[in-house]
Structure 1
Amino acid sequence: MTKRKKKKVSVIKDHPVWVKCHFFPYKMLQKRYQTLLIQHLKRAVENNLKSSAPDRDLLAFSIPSFKKSFFDDLKQEYKNGFFVHVTEERQDLQMTAGYIGRYARSPPLSELQIKNYTGEWISFEFKDYRNNGSKDLYTLKSIEFIRKLIRHIPPHYFNVIRHYGILASRVKTKFKKITDRLLSTPPIVEKAKNWRERQTKFQKEDPLLCKI
């Protein structure tokens, strides 16, 4: 005789309230996130292929076997689902706000540079350094704009920190105050003399002045 599985019943309240929970089923969340994201990608690809001007990079997905193998390989490579970073609830949010602020203030493209967006097309302003830094207006299809923008996202585990140790951004100001107190003021370096000044000092007279 086999045991029947118990059904899980969900109760909807008229006045729902937040319930504190210290354990979160992150493994379930990883698989669920993977499923929903892949479904969204499939719909986005299908809608693009049905449009009047499909993206050239997505034309290969019009072949059913290619489309199936691509997403099957994606699921096979990430058998446990897509990674979802779940941590304990932070109590001190000041550090988190500062961290987000440092990285959000310098995106690849500022919102102020986006001048027009119709859903299918987007126009943005940029500095053309090949033309003396003049400001140019450029218009692209939205999916092409996203494709160009995500090129600026570094690969996984790619180190983008330019300074570390006492030169790290968050501590260099404090260390500079200490080093300024401990180290003496560096000597003032004289500006290098040109040929005329060097000859005048050596010969005791200006070599470019006529002696007659």
Structure 2
Amino acid sequence: MRPAIEVADIFRRCGPQYRQTHAEGLSRAQRRVMSAIELCRTAALGAHLEQCNTCSHQRITYNSCRHRACPKCQSLARAQWLERRRAELLSSVEYFHVVFTLPESIAALALQNKKTLYDLLFRASAETLRTIAADPKHLGAEIGFITILHTWGQNLLHHPHVHCVVPGGGIAPDGERWIACRPGFFLPVRVLSRLFRRLFLGQLRRAFDAGALRFHGQLEPLRDPRAFAAWLAPAAHADWVVYAKPPFGGAEHVLDYLGRYTHRVAISNNRLLAFDERTVQFRWKDYRHEARQRTMTLTAHEFIRRFLLHVLPEGFRHIRSYGWMANCHRSDRLATCRQLLGVEAPAAASAEPSEDYRDRYQRLTGKSLRDCPVCGTGHMLRIESMPGSLPRAPPASVHAH
């Protein structure tokens, strides 16, 4: 059932004026996101006519925009990605969840240098995990893991952090045995935090020296090397937040988690409560006060501004894999892990040759897109296609990694 209020409603009603008011500050990627959300499931992108094979009820179904930033276009992409990850689970291994967060001062610079600093966040967090895990004082093994970038908090403000899902163990240096971590404990958070801080700041200084950073507005004085060094100095002594959550209950719980976190956008439609053309009200969890449920009201323009803060650079991969889960040798290294653990690979679900996106969606999610909304027993069959006035985006490939 369609939510009473959607992000698309806000963009369609207030987007045109927002473009005029903020014409100079919008990037090409942000403009494309706005257009995609506004046009999603409208006649502009085309449609098809469906008819029930039992009661002959007809309906027009409009095409989706397929954009990864659209709250309505991620269900199938998420289900397909999870199907691939299910085949990679190690059923006998405990899984852990580690979060690396950028300090608020660094986050302000990241907002002006998204690609550069988000890449640094990925690299520094991955190198931190791999280095500490390889140290014989801690685990002494090669690990593999998935890292997911999120740039938002529940209030939609900029809060860049990465979620890492890590099996609790790895391959011994000689490749002949599996080394498991202690039950319920993966790696020491304080050690991770200090190395993460050192690695990230070192890479950030090298990016500055290479002229790879941009400075605008209040940060423009940081172009001066001495000003930049003075601005960066407090971060080198602050505690950087690295949070290790309790281990997952099992391999399937990992998939439940990934299903909630991988293909998310800044806010889902079901969190929206009210929209009166001028203001938007939505639910949010206040994690600073025991995750209490609260409501927040923003002007429509402020809501759009906060939503657009989280538009990633075009082509940017927000899900990455490292160690023995890296794409280049994942299959071979997973086979080695299973051999060392003495476990079998999960059985993969097979697709029918004639399977289309609706069949695939039902197989992966258990939810049907074909059921007739009138009689409930028949299936809706496509009987006519209606081209739109604008081309649709191709399915995004950045989610597949």
Give your verdict on TM over 0.5.
no
Higher relative contact order (CA 8 A, sep 6+): 2
TM (norm. structure 1) is 0.37
Larger radius of gyration: 1
State TM-score, norm by structure 2. 0.22
